[in-house]
Homo-oligomer: A and B are copies of this chain.
Amino acid sequence: MEGYPIGQHKHITPPKAANREQRSEESRARILKAATSIFAEKGPEGARVDEIADQAGINKRMLYHYFGNKENLYLEVLRYNYNKIYTLSKNAINLADEPKVNVARAIRAYFYFLADNEAYVRLTSWEALCVGRFTGKLFPQFFDLIELEFDDLIKDGIERGCIRPDIDIRQAILSVRALCLAYFTQRKIVQSLWREDIFSEEMLEACLQHILNLIFDGLFI
């Protein structure tokens, strides 16, 4: 399990740990990666442990050795993927800039993060549906825009008189999130209806612009 001799020593504890520890770490990572793809594709109910082990190229026994059981593996997958949202966070806000610029930059970052992380999008969708069923409890972290300090952005915009003061910030966040997610959660339906590759560079940019226009000015004149 997690038996690194951290502060403890008898003799020199050289970075020899290499081979075995390294390989075990690799196995763990391979399982997590395979599990991500299969849980994202088929959901917590549809995913099969054997298929995950197979795709990871390890024996099922090892999966249980590293992760205990299917539910815990699923939770690890959620944690592992949720952490990815932090890779973009934080640097989106620069209070020196215009609120409009800040909001546009944050939405753009979020939108392209979703475009690049299909597994993440699907995992959040499964979670929204299965909450309280498979994992037994809710994973509120998946309400990710909050983590991006998006509400600070909006507050700043209101204070500086750029954003209408009467809006409900919680609802604004939910709306932005919904607008960005829609393209990717409805991907297959959209693709079959529009008969167009949503993931082309131009199309993605057009979708993003549509969202920004809507957020900034609405649809009406």
| CB of A5 to closest CB in B, whole Å | 41
Tell me the count of chain A residues lying within 8 A, CB to CB, of chain B.
Answer: 59
Q: A220 within 8 Å of B by Cβ?
A: yes
Assembled-state Cα–Cα distance A122/B129 (Å):
7
Q: What copy number does this chain have within its complex? A: 2
Contact of A190 among B42, B174, B190, B192 (CB under 8 A): B174
Contacts of A85 in B (CB 8 A): none
Query: If A43-B45, A45-B43, A182-B177 touch, does A168 touch B210 (CB 8 Å cutoff)?
Result: yes
Contact A215 B220 (CB under 8 A): yes
Interface-side segment among A18-26, A70-78, A130-138: A130-138
Is A186 an interface residue when CB atoms closer than 8 A count as contact? yes
- Per a CB cutoff under 8 Å, which of B46, B168, B216, B220 touches A100? B220
Which of the candidate stretches A29-37, A53-61, A86-94, A156-164 sits at the interface with the other chain?
A156-164
Complex Cα spacing A45 to B43, Å: 9
Give residues of chain A (175-221) contacting chain B, Cβ–Cβ below 8 Å.
175, 177-179, 181-183, 185-186, 188-190, 192-194, 206-207, 210-211, 213-221
Taking beta carbons and an 8 Å cutoff, which residues of A are in contact with B? 42-43, 45-46, 100, 122, 125-126, 128-133, 138, 140, 142-143, 146, 154, 157, 161-164, 167-168, 170-172, 174-175, 177-179, 181-183, 185-186, 188-190, 192-194, 206-207, 210-211, 213-221
Can you spell out 14 A-B residue pairs with CB atoms less than 8 angstroms apart? A42-B45, A43-B45, A45-B46, A128-B189, A132-B188, A138-B189, A138-B192, A140-B189, A143-B193, A171-B206, A171-B207, A175-B214, A177-B182, A215-B219
Further pairs besides A45-B45, A162-B220: 13, Cβ < 8 Å? A43-B45, A45-B46, A100-B220, A125-B125, A138-B189, A142-B189, A170-B193, A171-B210, A172-B219, A175-B211, A178-B182, A216-B219, A218-B218
